[in-house]
Amino acid sequence: MSLTPAFTTDVFADVNKDIQSQDKKISDLKSKKGDLQSELSKLVSDMDSAQKKAKDLQADFDKTGKELKQLNKEIQEINERIKEREEVLKERARAMQKTSNSNAYLDVILGADNFSDLVSRVSAVNELVNSDKSILDDQQSDEAALKSKQTAVKKTQDKQRQAIADFEAQQNKIEAQKAEKEAVVAKLALEQAGAEKAKSNLVSERDKQAAAAAERARALAAAAEPTAGETVKSTNDTSSASSSSSNRTASAASNVSSSSNSGGGKASSAGSSSSSSSNSGSSVGSNTPAPSGSGYSAMIAAARAQLGKPYSLGASGPSAFDCSGFTSYAFRAAGISLPRTSGGQYASATKVSASQAKPGDLVFFNYGGGIAHVGIYVGGGQMINAQNDGVKYDNISSGYWARYLVGYGRVANF
């Protein structure tokens, strides 16, 4: 008995040391997770700020839309005035031709009957000349105003387009940082779970060893009791007296056991049959066919049905869209789920070259701050997309979009 403390120390020392090691590991992992959760909270706050900024940007966009509408109306009015003056000038030119040559005004003056008639005719000619000059001056003035307003429209559109691109790029960066930290948190959680399981196993093993040690201690203590031998003897006598009865009971139990085992075999067989049936059902489910060529038809039909609908930041339909909301909406009609942002869609897509691109692939753009726009390639250098002019077709092989095109991505094998 004097050896029991030393024995206990030897058995538990290493186990306790391992448990302490796991505790420290768990504590470290929790601390790292806490730091990352704080960083994630900041990113969520950044996302909220970005959403508020999006609302302000949308308000500016709506205001700009009204201004553009007014400018286009003014441009139309100027064009109509220019057309009217052109008709007056053409009519004046035709009248000049009918009087044979450019001396028509001179002929009018020389045809005067008297001095008073001459004055009247000169005055009339001057009025005609001044009228022509006024028409020409107004024409030049309106043409200059038209060019100025057209330049203003283009600048406003470019400014709006850049603001949307900047927002999209910022949103993608925040999403990427958030996803990265969430992945690390998930990894730490897995490590923590592993450490806690290892600790649990160590504690369980320590408890088993403690129970075994306690049982040995009780056995040693019982063996040291003065009455230990008498207790054993009394137990043996009782066992001998009931031996015959016990044998008969054991025989009956054996018969019952045999019958029970026979029934159990059937139950086992039924269970096996049930398992086989379950596996068969699982196999059928795994052979469900993937989307066929009809998937593209469903997707492109959904995309075309949105033509003309307005652009709105963060919108994913059906009344308005932003670029990635539109692509997500269209592909959802074919049973395909896409990440919400253009950056997420770019990351998940299999990149293909321009020569490999086919209708149904995604096409991505970068204005200098990361992926900031996405559309659906429809072939022939064209895409259908949601941009600040709404849902429409655009040429990506030349002009504005060609300057920012970065490549194609495949998210479905239509």
Same domain, 179 and 306: no
Token pair for 232: 């054993």
At 131, list the tokens.
Answer: 């009228």
Calpha distance 52→57 (Å, rounded)? 9
Same domain assignment for residues 59 and 183:
yes
Element (H, E) at 172: helix 115-224
19 inside domain: yes
Query: Could you tell me whether strands 382-387 and 405-410 are parallel, antiparallel, or unpaired per DSSP bridges?
Result: unpaired
**Would you name the residues annotated as active-site residues?**
323, 373, 385
Instruction: Write the CATH number for 299.
Output: 3.90.1720.10
What would the pLDDT profile of 159-214 be if each residue is shown by its tens digit? 878 888 888 888 888 888 888 878 888 888 888 888 888 888 988 888 888 888 88
CB atoms within 10 A of CB 27: 12
3-state helix, strand, coil in the chain (%, to 5): 75, 10, 20
Kindly report the pTM of this predicted structure. Answer: 0.55
pLDDT for 179 equals 85
Structure tokens at 287: 């052979």
**Do 291 and 336 form a contact (C-beta atoms < 8 A)?**
yes
Instruction: Please check whether residues 177 and 320 belong to one and the same domain.
Output: no
How many separate domains does the chain show?
Answer: 2
Indicate whether 299 and 164 sit together in one domain: no
Domain-embedded: residue 280: no
Tell the residue number behind the tokens 């007056």, with chain if given. Answer: 88
CA distance 347 to 190: 25
pLDDT of residue 268: 33
59 C-beta neighbours (distance < 10 Å), count = 10
Let me know whether 9 and 109 are in one domain: yes
Residue 238 lies in a domain: no
pLDDT of residue 387: 95
Asked if residue 33 is part of any domain, the answer here is yes
Range of the domain at 349: 294-410
**Residue 214 within any structural domain of the chain:** no
Strand partners, 405: 365
pLDDT for residue 115: 61
CA distance 113 to 107: 12
Would 148 be classed as within a structural domain? Answer: yes
| 197 and 299 belong to one structural domain | no
pLDDT at 153: 78
Q: With contact defined as beta carbons under 8 Å apart, do 174 and 50 qualify?
A: yes
Count CA atoms within 13 Å of residue 309 on its CB side.
21
- Of 410, 301, 393, 260, residue with least CA distance to 348: 410
Same domain, 56 and 157: yes
Residue 381 backbone class (left: φ over 0; alpha: ψ -120 to 50; beta: rest): left
Residue that finishes a domain, picked among 206, 234, 260? 206
Residue 15 within a domain:
yes
Angle, CA of 46, 47 and 51, to the nearest 5°: 115
Residue 136 lies in a domain: yes
Q: Which of 206, 241, 272 is the last residue of a domain?
A: 206
Which residues of the chain fall below pLDDT 70? Answer: 1-12, 89, 92-129, 131-132, 216, 218-293
Residues 195 and 313 in one domain: no
In 3-state terms, what secondary structure has residue 3? coil
Ranges of beta strands (E only) in 46-127 are none
Task: Tell me how far CA of residue 216 lies from CA of 10, 14, 371, in angstroms.
Answer: 15, 20, 70
Whether residues 192 and 317 fall in one domain: no
Give the closest residue to 109 by CA, choosing from 98, 94, 96, 119. Answer: 119
Token reading at 177: 């940082």
Joined tokens for residue 145? 């105003």
Q: Residue 48 belongs to a domain with what CATH number?
A: 1.10.287
| 364 neighbors 406 (Cβ within 8 angstroms) | yes
Domain ends where: 175, 206, 237? 206
Residue 196 shares a structural domain with residue 312: no
Same-domain status, 309 and 197: no
**Is residue 16 domain-shared with residue 137, that is, in the same domain?**
yes
Distance CA 388, CA 377 (A): 18
How high is the pLDDT of residue 263? 36
